[in-house]
Structure 1
Amino acid sequence: MTTPLRVEDAAPVTTTEQAQDRVADLVGHAISRQLWFMLLDACGRQIPLLIPVDDIPLRPKPGGAADMAAAVVRLLSEHGPGGSVILTLERPGTAALTAPDRAWARELVESFGKVVRITGMFVAHDEGVCELPATVADAVAD
């Protein structure tokens, strides 16, 4: 049996691969549809605050994540100046990226990318966690 992860004791997260491992440890596979925010300080140490947001729509409204991005920036300015965020879309289904995933990628990049550094963006699905590359945000979402 593995010891539960205490983010206070965990190694810093500075790469996309490390961020994906952290998401796998803390979020795991999908149970419901929600967004997760993990905040990192300027050195990549995770702030011991894991933020789930439930009741999210299948597709975001354009600009709909801007308020969440502003809240994350406020938290980072207080608890981790110069830090970054790991963004995770949890949704049941396969690892194959869907049109709604691409719409979320576009919204997250547009809302968060303008105000804070994104260390990684992921989808937690039925079988685990995969990267949600920012490049899919440029793809046609329909």
Structure 2
Amino acid sequence: MDPIDRHIADLEPLTTDELIEQRVSSLVGRAVNRQVWLLFLHADAVQSPLVMPISDLPATPTADDLDNWSYFITETTEAAGATSLIVVIERFAGTRLNDNDRAWARFVSDGCRQAGVPLRAVALSHRRGVRLVSDGEYRGGG
């Protein structure tokens, strides 16, 4: 997939799952490290230029960290002038979620809910590329 021209990215609203998956593929691509990425969206669904990778994370988050995560989401989203988030879980493995992936997806989703910041999408960066993850996949519904 060709990289997205920055001028187009600055103007193109991410209004569909397909556009979000294309953007994440262009920005993050195939997994190299184990980390979580935050992509910030403005009210018009245009992505903020701020893209934040977060590394050195534990294999699974703990419930004790949820308040800190929620506070972090509130502060960074406000600083970016954003109104919603796309979260990318990057790890070098296959396309199927494992227990750690599900734990991280629930954690980031719960943190966004607690912060009052809409979570527009959760994406998985894996060894072959990128795909979006449905709520049901990490909430237990398949």
TM interval, short-chain normalised = 0.7 to 0.9
Look up the match of 2:21: 20
Q: 30-39 vs 57-66, which deviates more? A: 57-66
Query: For 1:79-110, what per-residue CA distance to the aligned partner results, in whole angstroms no more than 9, with x for missing partners?
Result: 425x2100000000111111111111111111
Q: Write out aligned runs for 1:1-20 (5 A).
A: 2=2, 5-6=5-6, 9-20=10-21
Q: Write out aligned runs for 1:1-142 (5 A).
A: 2=2, 5-6=5-6, 9-80=10-81, 83-114=83-114, 115-139=116-140
Q: Where in structure 2 are there 5+ consecutive unaligned residues?
A: none
CA RMSD of aligned residues (A): 2.3
Contact 1:63 1:107 in 2 (8 A): no
Q: Which has the higher helix share?
A: 2
Structure-2 separation of matches of 1:132 and 1:63: 24
Q: What is the aligned length? A: 139
Amino acid at match of 1:49: L
For residue 126 of structure 1, report the CA deviation from its aligned partner.
Answer: 0.3
For residue 5 of structure 1, report the CA deviation from its aligned partner.
Answer: 3.3
For residue 26 of structure 1, report the CA deviation from its aligned partner.
Answer: 0.2
Q: Tell me the percent identity.
A: 29
Structure-2 separation of matches of 1:24 and 1:125: 10
Contact 2:10 2:47 in 1 (8 A): no
SS in 2 for 1:9: helix
For residue 6 of structure 1, report the CA deviation from its aligned partner.
Answer: 1.5
Amino acid at match of 2:102: R
Over 3 Å counting, the alpha-carbon distance change for 1:3 and 1:61 in structure 2 is closer
SS in 1 for 2:59: coil
Q: 69-78 vs 92-101, which deviates more? A: 69-78
TM-score of the aligned structures, taking structure 2 as reference length = 0.85
